[in-house]
Amino acid sequence: MIIAIIGIMALPAMAWDGYPETPLSNEYDSSFIYQVILSKGNNTMLVVSQTKFYKEGDMLSEDRIRTSSTIHVLNYINEDWVYSGSLVSSQGVYFDEIIQSTHNIYMDETLTSVFFSATRKTPMQKALTQRPPLSLMSPLIRGISPFLIGLLIALVAFLKGLQLLFKTLRKA
């Protein structure tokens, strides 16, 4: 039970930490502040642009992310970002799921209604990254320990009682 609680508490904190920092080079400098991590099938991509992203697509077609400037695409291969190429803004990038974004992604090119809000660390995620989960759970562990010890004693007593019952029934 304690292991399950530790696992459940740690899951949200692992969402973003596995990816390395965005690479900066001649092709994408500090002006490329709009960055989105997407997944399409088994492929994870980092998409960067100088202008805000918006979603294009409806219930019948695949969703794609677009912007009004050039889009640079990097694929996540062998735990590193590998430059894949650039696309003109009219092409866009197809996706199944948005994993993380530095800024809001809008519903259409009017940039008024938000489709995906930029993810920020929740207070729980901040606490989990500052301290190990077991130190945060020590009050819970201290509180549940007497219950678990009592449950263990009751289980042993129940098994001994069954053992005595079967031994008595064999003699009869």
Q: What is the pLDDT of residue 126?
A: 63
Residue 89 within any structural domain of the chain? yes
* Rounded Cα distance, 156 and 138, in Å: 26
Is 102 part of any domain? Answer: yes
Structural domain including 74 reads 17-118
Q: Is 61 in the same domain as 146?
A: no
**Claim to verify: residue 78 and residue 160 sit in the same structural domain:** no
**Domain contains 12:** no
Q: Would residue 144 count as lying in a domain? A: yes
Write down the pLDDT at residue 14.
40
Verify that 113 and 72 share a domain, yes or no. yes
Same domain? 98 vs 138:
no
User: Are 152 and 96 part of one and the same domain?
Assistant: no
CA 153 to CA 11: how far, in whole Å? 33
Note whether 27 and 111 are same-domain residues: yes
Looking at the structure, tell me whether residues 103 and 138 fall in a common domain: no
The alpha helices in 28-132, defined as continuous H runs, are 123-130
pTM of structure:
0.53
Q: Within this chain, do residues 93 and 163 fall inside the same structural domain, yes or no?
A: no
**Are 110 and 48 in a shared domain?**
yes
What pLDDT score does 16 carry?
41
Q: Output the pLDDT for position 144.
A: 84
Give the residues of the chain that fall short of pLDDT 50: 11-18, 25-26
| Contact between residue 73 and residue 46 where contact means Cβ atoms under 8 Å apart | yes
Predicted pLDDT at 5: 61
Give the helix, strand, coil percentages of the chain, each rounded to 5.
Answer: 35, 25, 40
Whether residue 51 is found in the same domain as residue 112: yes
Domain count of the chain? 2
Instruction: Mark whether 99 and 154 lie in a shared domain.
Output: no
Residue 165 counted as domain residue: yes
Task: Give the residue carrying structure tokens 């190990």.
Answer: 132
Contact 115, 107 (CB under 8 A): yes
How much is the pLDDT for 15?
A: 41
